Amino acid sequence: MDDLLADIRACHICADLPLGPRPIIRAQTSAKILIIGQAPGTKVHETGVPWNDPSGDRLRDWMGLAPDQFYDDSTIAIMPMGLCYPGKVEKGGDKPPRPECAPAWHQKVLDELVNIKLTLLVGSYAQAYYLGKRRHKTMTDTIRHWQDYRRDNLFVLPHPSWRVTNLIQKNPWLSTEVFPQLKQDVRALI
């Protein structure tokens, strides 16, 4: 795993990125939980620490974890769909993860993560890539059917950005069913 991580961190597939390549990934073969999110934001790019922003605070809250538990890569692996910050779109917000990243690295990492018992697919990009035709028409519908994916040890979640506030308010089952079950599943593995 160390050699693979070194190869990933030296990757320059996306040398044309606005802030340059800086692949962000954390993993050890002993990890039991894998978080597959979208792509690092600017703060994560600057610090090199995944989910080191308000979205990460929200995700840790959903999982019921303190930062030291969340960042214990012997237990939790973190691999975004795009390992580098993709840049901003003109109207604000980040660009989608670069499409060449996941095909280049994900399967190699997954082959090393032999102890994963639970994979969190955070946001629509991870769900589209890993669920394919099994996902529903919208991300909300996919998450509404979250139990359909549990037999494959997958847990589907919205991206925990500030934009999710309305989604949570309009869908109280997230707070009464999904997040409590996520905490329970995580607690059982930590």
State residue 79's pLDDT score: 97
pLDDT at site 155: 97
pLDDT band at residue 162 under the 50/70/90 scheme: confident
Q: Which of 81-85, 111-115, 165-169 has the lowest mean pLDDT?
A: 165-169
Query: Do residues 41 and 126 touch, judged by C-beta distance below 8 A?
Result: no
* Residue type, position 125, single letter: Y
* β-strand partners of 118: 33
| pLDDT given for residue 169 in this prediction | 92
CA distance 25 to 101: 12
DSSP 8-state class, residue 7: H
Q: What is the pLDDT of residues 123-158, one digit of tens each?
A: 999 999 999 999 999 999 999 999 999 999 999 999
pTM for the predicted model, two decimal places:
0.95
Tens digit of pLDDT for each residue in 50-88? Answer: 999 999 999 999 999 999 999 999 999 999 999 999 988
Q: Report how far residue 31's alpha carbon sits from residue 44's, in angstroms, rounded to the nearest whole number.
A: 21
Count of C-beta atoms within a 10 Å radius of residue 170: 9
